[in-house]
A and B are shown apart, each in its own frame.
Chain A
Amino acid sequence: MNGVHDMGGMDGFGKVEAEPNEPVFHAEWEGRVMALVRAMGAAGAFNIDTSRFYREALPPHVYLGSSYYKKWLLGLEDLLVAKGYVGADEVKAGRALKETKAPKRGKLTLDQIDRIMVRGKFGRTPPAPAKFKAGDRVRAKNIHPATHTRLPRYVRGHIGVVERDHGVHVFPDSASIEAGENPQWLYTVVFDGTELWGPDSDPTVKVSIDAFEPYLELA
């Protein structure tokens, strides 16, 4: 979706402000939210792409006006309600009121923590040969899916070069809407800065994205 989360190349957000000696969490609730998202994901309530989609789908003013972990909380609440794990009335009341759907894998228990400390596996068996190879000139398609996609707007319509392939991965555009994993070849595609930002931009800049095969066409 063409949301405010897709902010590569936008102006006006100001300087990057690093915080010296930044703590891991700035408040106790931030850690709880992070852990709740991890635990509910591990329980099988949702996949990582769906959780990203719900954060992106927050109203633009809420997305831009919320801290990182507040976005995580709001996205989690919306997702749990939409999928029927929690009732909107329960979120409002702040307590459990009724029977709801349980996550398919069951709760994450203390003895399973080790399992989720390493990222899930996203590589899959190739369903078809790769269409592109390193060195190919490709164009990022001019597409504007209304649902979740990992093709940022700033590369659409632009020509780059395939640098390497990463094998076949779960396709977020499908997984995020629970339409199956639909595995696709994944490539690093590198663009000249001047291709993206115009002839007056810094000629020493190159930008790459990791692009799924359906995002690309031969140029």
Chain B
Amino acid sequence: MQIRVRALESILTAKGYVEPAALDAIIEAYETKIGPHHGAQVVAKAWTDPAFKQALLDDGSAAVAKLGHVARTGDHLVVVENTPERHNMVVCTLCSCYPWELLGLPPVWYKASPYRSRAVKDPRGVLSDFGVTLPKDIEVRVWDSTAETRFLVLPMRPKGTEGWSEGQLAELVTRDSMIGTGFPKTPGAPS
């Protein structure tokens, strides 16, 4: 594969269609800059600032754009809130749509057949693959990302974090908790 990809890149470079330095910069951005820490900051802010949380649920893209320093995001970000009555989970059954700007590139499992096929039919079974068990009567809402809307789950704030700063809270927010296949870390538990 390495050789085949290198050959295609050399063809496109020779034709003047791509610039290798630009490719390097794209790769570097996804390897070192863009990742779930962006989403975690958004979640932590929502946990501490009720007005921001409401704005985020009303119009995710606009609310994140106002934060400026945290992360940039494209249009049509939809933030969905977990509550004691409802757990949200995000999938893309048709391909791999995922909020890249807030979570980075998706993990292999998110893009692979087992998750894409089962998440809509047996979400509790999928959650059990992650070691996650929900109360029996809670609604499980699965969001299939079939358009250019992008979904971010706002998990519930862990108990025992009263008075914590945004920075401290952001440390508890896991990638999977923002996809809906996990929970935030619990204060004091080993990470």
Contact = CB atoms under 8 A, between A and B. Distances in A.
B145 A210 contact: yes
Interface in B12-61: 12, 14-19, 21-27, 29-31, 34
Contacts of B111: 68
Contacts of A209: 144, 146
Interface residues of A, number: 90
A179 interface: no
Interface string B136-157: 1111111111111110000000
Given A9-B120, A91-B8, A22 B19 contact: no
A207 B108 contact: no
A27 interface: yes
Contacts of A118: 72-74, 101
Given A36-B18, A95-B10, A121 B74 contact: yes
A90 interface: yes
Size class of the contact patch on chain B: 35 or more
B104 interface: yes
Given A18-B107, A29-B6, A197-B121, A119 B1 contact: no
Contacts of B146: 150-152, 209-211
Residue of A8, A17, A118 most packed against chain B (CB within 10 A): A8
Interface in B122-146: 122-124, 126, 129-130, 136-146
A6 to B, nearest CB: 6
B114 interface: yes
B166 interface: no
22 contacts: A7-B113, A13-B113, A13-B117, A29-B6, A35-B24, A36-B18, A36-B23, A52-B95, A77-B8, A80-B12, A86-B8, A94-B11, A96-B15, A119-B73, A123-B75, A190-B141, A202-B122, A205-B124, A205-B139, A207-B141, A208-B144, A210-B146
Interface of A: 5-11, 13-19, 22, 24-29, 31-36, 38-40, 43, 45, 52, 55-56, 64, 68, 70, 73, 76-77, 80, 85-86, 90-91, 94-96, 100, 102-103, 107-110, 112-113, 116-123, 150-152, 154, 166, 169-170, 172, 186, 188, 190, 196-197, 201-202, 204-212
